[in-house]
Chain A
Amino acid sequence: MNHNSQEAISGCIMKSKYPATDYIMSGHVACPGCGAVIAMKFALQALGAKTILVIPACCWAVVAGVHPQTSLKVPVLHTAFETSGAAASGVRAALDMKGDTETTVVAWAGDGGTFDIGFQSLSGACERNENFLYVCYDNEAYMNTGVQRSSATPYGAQTTTTPKNAWKSHRKKNIIDALAAHRIPYAATVNIAYPDDMMRKFKKAKDIQGTRFIHAYASCPTGWRIPSDQTVAISRLAVQTNLFPLYEVDKGTDYTINYHGNRPVAEYLKIQGRFKHLTEKDHADIQDMVDEDWQLLKGKAA
């Protein structure tokens, strides 16, 4: 950062090291502070214009534009909720048969359409090593339909279907491990508060053949009951508390951890409305679970 007197007067000028091209047009209908839009922004900047998106029912199905408008500068195929893996397989097959082996096919789905209803078609595509990139932007509940729980909802969270004292008492499904078990060439977590890491992984994924899976943490002010200007700060805390570790799995077996966090989970839980009902005992239980998962992950990366 430059510290000369002119910039001191006009304010700090951050030179963006990311491409100037934006593939999202402003005026879209996402909530203020939507983490999923930030995720798409970096993803498309890394992947470039030769990309076709396959989007099932999810928040992005609406953010991508209500007829007759589109908010994206790449082609988009909207599909039914549970079909991303299968629809993307079909798009890829068609492009290959037409002689186009350059366009990147990207399934872009929420956690519901990936972890739950979309799991079958995703697993099927992974087993066949279909040649596309599947991105799950994870806001940890069925946000588009009003904050119902999914199997990506973390332990302890309140949602409209895990309300009050019936908060979610099952742990978040480990989607990376589940898909790594299919021996897909590449699986990785990314987080919107770590754009360098995110862009690197998208670029790496783009050049790999076969099924690539990216799990993108995408905070949701609306569903998590956090102020909309805290989207990035909370995303950063998720990594720093090891609650959402940044790591990659190559070929289903080689684990690499990209960041070692050391902050207590209570810092993350206390500032979110969806966790405000939790007691100190609950925080301690969650800390134990995070520690356990972190040890397991370190064991795999050793």
Chain B
Amino acid sequence: MKQVLEGSHAVSEAVRLARAKVISAYPITPQTHIVEALSEYCADGSMDARFICVESEHSAMASCIGASSAGVRTFTASSSHGLALMHELLHWASGARLPIVMAEVNRALGPGWNIWMDQSDSLSQRDTGWIQLYCETGQEVLDTTLQAYRLAETVNLPVMVVLDAFFLSHTYEPVDIPDQKSVDTFLPSFVPRISLDQQEPNAIGQMAPPAYYMEMRHSIQMAMQAVLPHFIDVEREFNNVFGRTYGPVTPYACDDAEYIFVMAGTSASTCRQAIKTLRDQGHKVGVLKLKMFRPFPYQYIRKNLEKAKKVIVLDRNCSFGAGGIFAQEIRSAMYACKAHPQIFSYISGLGGRDITVDHFFEMLDRTEKSGYPENESVWIGLNP
């Protein structure tokens, strides 16, 4: 059934359909619409779940960890400082191998206080062992949230479904909401592999001395490496039932492209618009939208970029003292390729500053005119 939905509500519809049983959340703009909708569903009975109004994001993740360890499907949502506050427990959730799903709305970190679009919050957490999937449209948000539970419960790792602050969270788009019966077939009840067990009393999460710890960590990496093939399977199944698929990356006009833009999030939509104009002008340009960031889809990045002359990476984030984070990881991925396209890193659109087609024209222009990247990352759109 197609409805015009706000991006936030695409998340809440998916969580409702996924039959999450414990939702534990703390408000932070611009995620609040997600959890407000869920608390209404819990209150009016359209969801059979317990909604815990915790007193901080740290406690939100802690209670998800508690609930997931006791064997039920859980959900939370956060953004920016809230996500940052959860940091310690993001590590805990993946270390505990819990299939928690969280919606993370990409928002800037302060000071100054800024509630708008920025990728620094989720990317600061890239080392925490969470699967990270970046979305571009409301439909993709709904679909990815449903798929996230399948993926999480298959590999026993938590999943972060990421959407742009306001550009996606508060934008209304037509979204096809699947029926409950089809979702139940695609996503059956959660059967935990390990949970607190009264019959066979067990201890979960104990001290692990040097003789044991490393193997536990290795198993997380092994699980991460299993994600990509499982993701392909899950997407294939989803496509069979619902008729939609995205891929870990989505190429557009890349086959014969000399210049390929790479980015995650809603700026990919703007970029495709720019590509259409540039192609009309005779530029051989394409765009590769990045959806899966953790695990990093090395083979997909290499396969799609190795024939390009130059790669233009857009980062709406900055790792201070280094540069754009997507660019760093793409450079690292391409190092192993025989072909070495030049990787140009541009930082723009921080703290909600808009990225327009003109910015993409400027990025292409600068890239065309440079033999080599002039800097680790070049900032575009700064006020003089």
Contact = CB atoms under 8 A, between A and B. Distances in A.
B272 interface: no
A128 to B, nearest CB: 7
Contacts of B247: none
A82 to B, nearest CB: 7
A93 B21 CA distance: 9
B21 A94 contact: yes
A61 B203 CA distance: 11
Tell me the interface secondary structure of chain A in the complex. Answer: mixed
B280 to A, nearest CB: 55
Contact of B206 (A49, A66, A82, A127): A66
B69 A67 contact: no
Interface stretch (A2-10, A118-126, A275-283): A118-126
A79 B202 contact: no
A73 B201 CA distance: 6
Interface in A12-38: none
B98 to A, nearest CB: 11
Interface stretch (B131-139, B207-215, B292-300, B316-324): B207-215
A70 interface: yes
A62 B208 CA distance: 10
A62 B198 CA distance: 21
Nearest to B212: A67
Contacts of B64: 90
A76 B204 contact: yes
A188 interface: no
Given A72-B201, A83-B58, A85-B59, A65 B206 contact: yes
A65 B201 CA distance: 13
A280 B76 CA distance: 56
B62 interface: yes
Contacts of B206: 61, 64-67, 70, 76, 78
B37 interface: no
B50 A93 contact: yes
Interface residues of A, number: 45
Contacts of A220: none
Interface string A105-145: 00000000000000011011001100000000000000000
Nearest to A56: B62
A70 B89 contact: no
Nearest to B64: A90
Nearest to B204: A77
Contacts of A127: 55
Contacts of B48: 97
B211 to A, nearest CB: 9
A90 B63 contact: yes
B102 interface: no
B52 A93 contact: yes
Interface in B185-240: 196-198, 201-209, 212
Interface string B308-320: 0000000000000
A86 B67 contact: no
B364 interface: no
A97 B66 contact: no
Interface string A78-99: 1110110111111111111110
Contact of A98 (B59, B60, B68, B72): B72
A77 B69 contact: yes
B12 interface: no
B92 interface: yes
A103 interface: yes
B122 to A, nearest CB: 21
B71 interface: yes
Interface in B41-63: 48-50, 52-56, 58-60, 62-63
A97 B22 contact: yes
B62 A79 contact: yes
Interface of B: 21-22, 24, 48-50, 52-56, 58-60, 62-72, 74, 88-89, 92, 196-198, 201-209, 212
Given A89-B59, A91-B67, A124-B59, 10 more contacts: A52-B198, A75-B197, A76-B202, A80-B92, A89-B63, A90-B24, A93-B22, A94-B21, A94-B22, A121-B62
6 contacts: A62-B207, A76-B206, A77-B196, A90-B74, A121-B58, A121-B62
